[in-house]
Amino acid sequence: MSYVFTGVVLPERAVLTLPKFTIKFSHLLSGAPGTATVSILVNQISVQIDSGYEWGVLDLRNVVKGILQLQLAIIGFLKGYAYDFAVTRVINHRREIDYVFGIDVPCISKPRETTNLEVALTELRGKVLGQHGVFVQRCLSDLLSALKNADDTGFYCYRAIESLRHHCAAVHGVAHAGKAVQWVKFQEVSGATEEVLRAIKAEADPLRHGDVFGISEDNSVKLLTSTWEVVEGYFKSVINESRDSSAAAGPSRCPTS
C-alpha cells in the first residue's frame, strides 16, 4: 500500500535539490515496517511510503517528518545550512485519503476557538515584556516547539513548565530557595497537582537525557492537554494578581501645584 506525501523545503529562496533515495524504517512504537522513497527537487518534496500496515495519517506524517528532519540535519551539520520544511499533503487512493495538513493541533485549537485573540494577546504581552518576562518568552517558545515536534513533545512541554517555575520563583521571592520550595509555590499559584506535573515530567525524562522515546497520538493529546491546562492556570493567576494590584493602587492622581 502506497502513501504519497508532498511538501516544501524552506526557505524556498535557498534552492535545494537532492538525488532520489530510498530507505527502510520501522515505527518506534508499533514496530510497523515500511520503505520511504524521497525526492527533493528545487525544494519541492515528494515522499512515497510503501507499507502493508494500515497507518493513522498523523502517525505516518510524523514518520515522514522524522525522515526529512534527519536529512536536513545532516545537511546542517555538513554545510551549516539551517533549512526547515513543511509537509502539506498526503494521498492514498486505495483508502480514499486525500488530506491537506493544517497548522492547528485539534486537541489545543478546538477548545479555544472562541478565544478573543486581541484581548489575550494584550494581557500576555505585558508579561512577556515586563520584569522576568524572559521566562514567559521561553515557555511560549517551547510550547510552540511542542506543537511542531511530535517526537519531542514531552521535552518541550516540561521545559515550558520549568520556565514558569523560574518565573513564579522570581515573582514571589523564592528564586534562591530550593527547587522543592519553588515547585510548591508554583503548584499553589497555578493550581496544578504534583501528580499532573510528575506525569508530564515522566514523558520528558528520557528525551532530556538523550534517549529515543516515541509517543502515541493518544498520549500526545493527553500530554499537550495537561500541559496547556497547567500553563493557562498559571497565566490566569498571574493576570488576576496584576489586576488586583492595579485595583488596590487606585487611580493615579496628578500632583497639584
Q: Are 68 and 153 in contact (CB under 8 A)?
A: no
Residue 218 pLDDT class (50, 70, 90 cuts): confident
Q: What is the pLDDT of residue 45?
A: 99
Give the β-pairing of 44-50 and 84-92. unpaired
**pLDDT, greater one: 197 or 243:** 197
pTM for the model stands at 0.85
Mind spelling out the 3-state secondary structure of 174-206? CCCCCHHHHHHHHHHHHCCCHHHHHHHHHHHHH
Q: What is the pLDDT of residue 129?
A: 79
Q: What is the pLDDT of residue 235?
A: 95
- At position 201, the amino acid (one-letter code) is K
- At position 183, the amino acid (one-letter code) is W
For the chain, give the mean pLDDT. Answer: 91
- At position 68, the amino acid (one-letter code) is L
For residue 126, give the DSSP letter.
H
pLDDT digits (tens, 9 = 90+) for 28-70: 778 889 999 999 999 999 999 999 998 989 889 999 999 999 9
Distance between CA 150 and CA 139 in Å, rounded? Answer: 17
Q: What is the mean pLDDT of residues 128-149?
A: 92
Q: What is the mean pLDDT of residues 178-197?
A: 97
Q: Are 113 and 105 in contact (CB under 8 A)?
A: no
Q: Which long-range contacts link 129-135 to residues 24+ away (Cβ below 8 Å)?
A: 132/167, 132/170, 132/171, 135/163, 135/164, 135/166, 135/167, 135/170
Q: What is the pLDDT of residue 140?
A: 97
Instruction: Give the number of C-alpha atoms closer than 13 A to the C-alpha of residue 66, restricted to the C-beta side.
Output: 19
Q: What is the mean pLDDT of residues 159-184?
A: 96
Q: What is the mean pLDDT of residues 212-240?
A: 91
Q: What is the pLDDT of residue 223?
A: 97
pLDDT exceeds 80 at position 130: no
Q: Which of 179, 172, 174, 177 is nearest to 201 (CA)?
A: 179
Domain ranges across the chain: 2-100, 106-247
Distance between CA 163 and CA 195 in Å, rounded? Answer: 19
